[in-house]
Amino acid sequence: MLHEAAVFQAIASPRRCEILRLIWAEELAAGDIHRAMPDVTFGAVSLQLRQLLDAGLVRMRAESRSRLYRARREALGAVGKMLERMWDDALWRLKLEAELEETRRGPRPQARRKKKKG
């Protein structure tokens, strides 16, 4: 297991958390990660990836011209579990927000109705 202080420091940045989330379940190239966060430069993403790598929170392997990153979930231990819960909560919030939006466009149903799919 990693030195917790380093882990806390690493995940304190929303940017690094977002990167971790992106490469939590799949391996992505640095460029893919950057495309998912177009509000910053490629350089900025690369620097954060380096920090995560130095902290031991992600793995990297070179494939042809690309460098593929993925989270070292096993190294994150309990912090990882908490990140997952946080991300799940975010999804839940989005879902909730969508439902709230729906209610704003029509009368609030008495009881939960089966949603029409689509």
Partner DNA sequence: TTTATAATTTAGTTTAAACTAAAATGATTG
Partner DNA sequence: CAATCATTTTAGTTTAAACTAAATTATAAA
Site for a second copy, rule CB under 8 A: 4-5, 8-9, 11-12, 14, 17, 78-79, 81-83, 85-86
**Binding letters toward DNA, positions 22-61, x by CB under 7 A:** -------xxxx-x----xxxxxxxxxxxxx--------x-
CB 55 within 8 A of CB 7: yes
Q: Identify the bridge partners of residue 68 per DSSP, sorted by sequence position.
A: 29, 61
Please state the closest distance from residue 30 (CB atom) to a second copy, in A. Answer: 24
Separation of alpha carbons 16 and 37, rounded Å:
11
Torsional sign, CA 24, 27, 56, 15: negative
Please state the closest distance from residue 96 (CB atom) to a second copy, in A. Answer: 15
Phi, psi of 15, rounded to the nearest 5 degrees: -60, -50
Q: What residues make contact with DNA under the rule CB under 7 A?
A: 12-13, 15-16, 29-32, 34, 39-51, 60, 62, 64-68
